Copies of this chain bind each other. A is one copy, B any other.
Amino acid sequence: MIELVTLGMLMQGRMSGYDIKKITEQTIGTFYKMSYGSLYPALKRLVTEGFVTEEETNDSKNKKLYTVTNKGRQHFLEWLSEPLKSNKREYMVKVFFYDYLDEETKRRNLHDYQRSIERTLNQLKAVQAVVSQELDQLDKKDQYYYRVSTMHYGLKFFQMENEWIKQIINKENF
Contact surface of A with B, Cβ cutoff 8 Å: 27-28, 30-31, 33, 87, 92, 95-99, 120, 124, 141-150, 152-154, 156-158, 160, 163-164, 167-168, 171, 173-174
Contacts and interface: CB of A to CB of B under 8 A. Distances in A.
Q: This chain: how many copies in the complex?
A: 2
Contacts of A28: 150
A73 B148 CA distance: 22
A31 B154 contact: yes
A173 B152 contact: yes
Contact of A145 (B99, B158, B160): B99
Contact of A147 (B99, B163, B164): B99
A95 B173 contact: no
B145 A156 contact: no
B150 A92 contact: yes
Given A30-B124, A96-B150, A145-B174, 15 more contacts: A27-B147, A92-B153, A95-B146, A95-B149, A95-B153, A141-B174, A142-B174, A145-B168, A145-B173, A148-B173, A149-B164, A152-B167, A152-B173, A156-B163, A160-B160
A141 B171 CA distance: 12
A147 B101 CA distance: 12
A149 B165 CA distance: 9
17 contacts: A27-B150, A28-B150, A30-B124, A30-B157, A33-B87, A92-B153, A95-B150, A95-B153, A97-B146, A99-B145, A99-B146, A145-B168, A145-B173, A149-B167, A153-B164, A157-B160, A160-B160
Contacts of A158: 30
A154 B30 contact: yes
